[in-house]
Chain A
């Protein structure tokens, strides 16, 4: 598949060059599994190792999946998907059904997440196909009584800044995953580690 692509200056095409050369829809649909693997990895990592995740820029953030999780087989196969709803803060044992679904080769296709860093916290839903954060409950630094003083533009700037902070964190998390996924470490260390956690949940 990688053969025949032409780059600009060197042999390796840039991301933009690839997007110009490839049929976007085909590329997107052919790699939908990446979103599912990312969500599944993130969920297992945060369940197994705790909520703290280190981003490539060195910052640490807290990430956890809230009470809703959907697992399905291959991309787009919603017929045999499993939707799991737990209490607001899932406790030990609440995800047993989800672990069973994983054993049936299902992967996470949708989840409600929370991300926290310092005083900022966001809640949103992510679907594997686009990883577009939906219905973001934004964290704004101003107290509600101060928002009048900010004015319309100030309020928008604050919301924009909060959105940017979240998108940077999500991109950072995806970067950790994708770099691991294309490295030999994935098969050598990461998969056995995740498998070890799953075995411990039996």
Chain B
């Protein structure tokens, strides 16, 4: 659940690279369109990931007003997937193999088995309905901070890769040590790097 509804989870990122003058509203729109979500309906692709508009996940037009809000940009990472379980595949493969036996009077050899299974897998994939997941991202250009409304390693990697490809900017997850480095006084920054775990709570 994210920014638009439900109980959100917020992953924070810091953009390391200073933003150059190239990063205009228009440029950001162009890049979003370049890496926009591509529909995989009617194909056998198992996954697709790309950007869609914040308030209209079926749209990738990215008119300025759809993603630019003053010094803040907002858009959504859309991930579509279709999953074919091994159990389903094996069930239909057993039927395919039985039909092959009836027709040829023998079991398919290893090469043929592989070929039959792949053909069947592609046929079944076409019949599986797609699942769509949406994860919003809000980019505060003034503070070089991004909020990604999703969590979990797999999802974070997908977001980091897509963001990196789209804008060519290095981003770093804000975690306790990075937050600490930003919050301590200059003189304490190196001391923080040298800290070791303390004896908190050894009493009791």
Contacts and interface: CB of A to CB of B under 8 A. Distances in A.
Q: Do A and B bind each other?
A: yes
Interface of A: 1-2, 5, 10, 12-13, 15-16, 18-20, 24, 27-28, 30-35, 37-38, 40-41, 44, 74, 99-100, 102-107, 124, 128-138, 152-153, 156, 159-160, 163, 167, 171, 174-175, 178-179, 181-183, 186, 191, 194-195, 198-199, 201-202
B22 interface: no
A54 B88 CA distance: 57
B9 A179 contact: no
Contact of B9 (A31, A37, A133): A133
A181 B10 contact: no
Closest A-B pairs by Cβ, 3 of them: A103-B204, A102-B201, A31-B177
A178 B200 CA distance: 14
A19 B178 contact: yes
A166 to B, nearest CB: 9
A102 B125 CA distance: 52
A190 to B, nearest CB: 9
Nearest to B198: A37
Contacts of B183: 171, 174-175, 178-179
B192 interface: yes
7 contacts: A44-B201, A102-B204, A128-B176, A159-B4, A179-B185, A182-B192, A182-B195
Given A103-B203, A179-B185, A167 B10 contact: yes
A13 B192 CA distance: 12
A33 B197 contact: yes
A192 B97 CA distance: 73
B116 interface: no
A71 to B, nearest CB: 9
Contact of A198 (B4, B14, B151, B203): B203
Given A179-B184, A179-B188, A202 B172 contact: no
A15 B189 contact: yes
B122 interface: no
A163 B178 CA distance: 20
A120 to B, nearest CB: 15
Contacts of A163: 3, 8, 10, 147
B194 to A, nearest CB: 5
A38 B192 CA distance: 14
Contacts of A100: 204
Nearest to A108: B201
B202 interface: yes
A105 B191 CA distance: 24
A131 B203 contact: no
B130 interface: no
Contacts of B190: 2, 5, 12
Given A24-B172, A31-B195, A152-B55, A15 B178 contact: yes
B204 A99 contact: yes
Interface string B97-131: 00000000000000000000000000000000000
